[in-house]
Amino acid sequence: MTEEQATETASPDIEDSIIEIINMHKWFGDFHVLNDINLKVGRKERIVICGPSGSGKSTLIRCINRLEQHQRGQIIVDGIELTNNIKNIEKIRAEVGMVFQHFNLFPHLTIVDNLALGPIWVRKTPRKEAEEIAMYYLEKVHIAEQAKKYPGQLSGGQQQRVAIARSLCMSPKVMLFDEPTSALDPEMIKEVLDVMIDLATEGMTMIVVTHEMGFAKSVAHRVLFMDFGQIVEGNTPTEFFDNPQHDRTKLFLSQILH
């Protein structure tokens, strides 16, 4: 996968935004973890968020499907504003896929049951059909032969691919990735990134929190740098890496690109 291939296949529609965050703030106790966030994500846009640990990048994407609650400002996902309305929250969560650092597969269910769960109980798909959907996405992440196993019997890389497939089974409109490769052994990072690149090629809207700068360069339309709860700067990967504007960005880049 080269830079051009990934970016050519699907150009984002910035005008028609699927996620809109306006003047959003969040505190953990007294700690101002997100400070005046403004962000528009277009359909089919791919955004990579990077920044030092504690900068609020995970919290930001967790706010998008309400795993964290924001305290000021607005978050609008696919035309629905996130409020305390639990029905709306569940509707949005069904449309927004989330991949966690620690996979969070359901250890008491087989792989195929992990995948079919969402379609069966949230989408009310008949079981047989749901299992077909599950097998389709397992093929897609190259792991169909493990369908009858339990998560504990799989390697970290395999588990994370299953977790991605589990989200895809819900046919989400957006996929959120919260440091999907940080908990993996180095030799397993590539298999997960390859699956994510495939997804990008197909035009999935993605927001990825990651330190994989190679992935950011080849896949992202926009790279955001966060520090102290703020989006410090955001730019195309080329501009971002070659010509960073802020000192904090420069410092960060110099630290991670040895």
Partner 1 sequence: MEQTSADITASDDIRPPVASIGVIGWVRANLFDGWFNSLLTLATLYALWVVVPPIVRWVIIDAVWNTTGAECRDAAGACWSIIATNFRFILFGFYPYDQQWRPLVAMLLLFGLLYYSQDRKHWTKMLGYGWVAGLVAMGLLMRGGLLGLSSVETTKWGGLPLTLLLSVFGLTAAYPLGVILALGRQSRLPIIKWLCVVYIELIRGVPLISLLFMGSIIFPLFLPEGITINKILRAQVAIILFTAAYIAEVVRGGLQGMSRGQYEAAESLGLNYYLTMRLIILPQALKIVIPPTVSILISAFKDTSLVVIIALWDLLKTSQAVLSNPEWMGFSREAYIFIAILYFLGCFSMSNYSRRLERELDRDRP
Residues near partner 1 (CB under 8 A) are: 65, 67, 86, 90-91, 93-98, 100, 102, 104-109, 117-118, 121-122, 150-153, 166-167, 170
Question: What gap in Å lies between CA 205 and CA 114, rounded to an integer?
Answer: 23
The candidate with the shortest Cα–Cα distance to 178, out of 17, 53, 31, is 53
The least CB distance from residue 123 to partner 1, in Å, is 9
Distance (Å, rounded) from C-alpha 235 to C-alpha 111? Answer: 38
The CB-of-93 to partner 1 minimum distance in angstroms stands at: 4
Nearer to partner 1, 100 or 215 (CB): 100
Comparison of 138 and 213: residue with beta carbon closer to partner 1: 138
Q: How far is the CB of 13 from partner 1 (least distance, A)?
A: 25
The distance of closest approach from Cβ of residue 227 to partner 1 in the complex, given in angstroms and rounded to an integer, is: 25
Q: What residues contact residue 62 under an 8 Å CB cut-off, 6+ apart? A: 68, 178
Q: Between 31 and 121, whose beta carbon lies closer to partner 1?
A: 121
The phi and psi torsions of 10 (rounded to 5 degrees) equal -145, 120
Strand ranges inside 44-183, DSSP E:
46-50, 72-77, 80-81, 96-99, 174-178
136 vs 241, beta carbon nearer partner 1: 136
Q: Output 102 or 250, the one with its CB closest to partner 1.
A: 102
CB of residue 243 vs partner 1: minimum separation in angstroms?
36
Q: How far is the CB of 190 from partner 1 (least distance, A)?
A: 23
Q: Give me the long-range contacts of 34-41 (CB less than 8 A, separation at least 24).
A: 34/59, 34/60, 34/63, 34/70, 34/229, 35/228, 35/229, 35/230, 36/73, 36/230, 37/73, 37/229, 37/230, 37/231, 38/231, 39/224, 39/231, 40/14, 41/17, 41/174, 41/205, 41/207
91 vs 217 by CB, closer to partner 1: 91
